[in-house]
Structure 1
């Protein structure tokens, strides 16, 4: 599954176009490498997302094309969440 689609389906980022923009700005890494919107994810991949004041590290635990709001958190496991100044 593509990175931008995963971020939308998992509800980590609200819209797919926004996920593409964030990846294009170099604020996402996948397994230590810069993540592009088209990066193909696998179960077990580690994703680091730099939001405005927070850096979130997650591990992909499941890949689904669609999911309900309550089940979206089951697609990933939060490894760490750090505040950045």
Structure 2
């Protein structure tokens, strides 16, 4: 009778460990999915803010213009520096 009780106790323990492992795997999957949603939400909000008319939109526009101007001027400056 005692070995049957030990077997039942061991089976209950194994079931409990299995349930905990499955729950941990599901929780890990939910966390990864939530991280993906957070990344997409941040990209969308950045895009909306960068194209807006507020201060961040204006700063973003000036930064874009600076990068374009820099890309246009660097080849000319290099030619003047190296060849002339």
> Going by fraction, where is strand more abundant, 1 or 2?
1
> Going by fraction, where is helix more abundant, 1 or 2?
2
Larger radius of gyration: 2
- Relative CO higher for 1 or 2, CA cutoff 8 Å, sep ≥ 6? 1
Q: Is TM (by shorter chain) over 0.5?
A: no
